[in-house]
Amino acid sequence: MSDLYRKGNTSRVTLSQLMLPSHSNFSGKIHGGHLLSLMDQIAFASGSKFSGKYCVTASVDRVDFLNPIEVGELVTLKASVIFVGNSSMVVGIRVEAQNIQTGKVKHCNSSYFTMIAKDEQGNNVRVPRLILTSKEEILRFVKTTQRLKLRHNYAELCADFDGDMHQAIHNIQQHFEVKFELPS
């Protein structure tokens, strides 16, 4: 197959790890920071596998912790490239935790990491184009374009205020129920 195009499944990576007491927070659940570290590792592996290059994390789009993870559960992360730009790739990640005694599996998190491919000098490099091979891959690709468009629109909306406090207050009052107590 040409390096100009690659199937998303060439980027699939699965990582499983038993959650230990050292991974827990003060409430006894697995610390979100530990989970984010695992997610960053698998995003790097997936992006590097797809591009054949060293990758860095550019952004993380939403991290919703849906269900807590307990000490002693087996956490499995699954990742693959679901969208490509010029030098960027969006890696979709699904996190599940399994109670190894009962076999019950729960979905704990889904997230999207944008990874940038780099050359040996640290410059951005073009990544292969994506070959979509299923209805599911097409839907993930379209949903990613919608998330990227929303992010772009949000950035433009925030830029409109650029230090104009009166405009910011007006916008807030139009959309939210808040009270202002500003020093004179």
The pLDDT confidence band at residue 138, using thresholds 50, 70 and 90, is very high
Query: What's the pLDDT score for residue 1?
Result: 39
Confidence at residue 162, expressed as pLDDT on a 0 to 100 scale: 64
Same-domain status, 22 and 83? yes
Separation of alpha carbons 5 and 2, rounded Å: 6
| pLDDT digit string, tens, across residues 141-184 | 999 999 988 887 777 767 666 667 887 788 788 888 888 888 87
In this structure, are 118 and 171 located in the same domain?
no
Does 114 share its domain with 171? no
Residue 184 lies in a domain: no
Are residues 62 and 88 part of one domain?
yes
Q: Over 50: is that where the pLDDT of 2 sits?
A: no
What is the domain count for the chain?
A: 2
What pLDDT, in 10s, does the model give residues 14-72? Answer: 999 999 999 999 999 999 999 999 999 999 999 999 999 999 999 998 888 999 999 99
Same domain, 90 and 40: yes
Residues 160 and 97 in one domain: no
The answer to the question of residue 119 being in a domain is yes
pLDDT score recorded for residue 168: 79
Residue 182 lies in a domain: no
Q: In the prediction, which pLDDT does 166 show?
A: 81
Q: What residue ranges in the chain does DSSP mark as E strands?
A: 5-7, 13-18, 54-63, 74-84, 88-98, 105-118, 129-131
Residue range 116-128: average pLDDT? 97
Phi-psi region of 102 (alpha: psi -120 to 50; beta: other; left: phi over 0): alpha
The span from the CA of 168 to the CA of 178, in Å, is 13
Of residues 173 and 113, which shows the higher confidence score? Answer: 113
Q: 107 and 41, same structural domain?
A: yes
- 120 and 144 belong to one structural domain: no
Please tell me the predicted confidence (pLDDT) of residue 172.
81
Domain match, 56 and 144 both:
no
DSSP H/E element including 68? none
Residues of the domain holding 163: 132-177
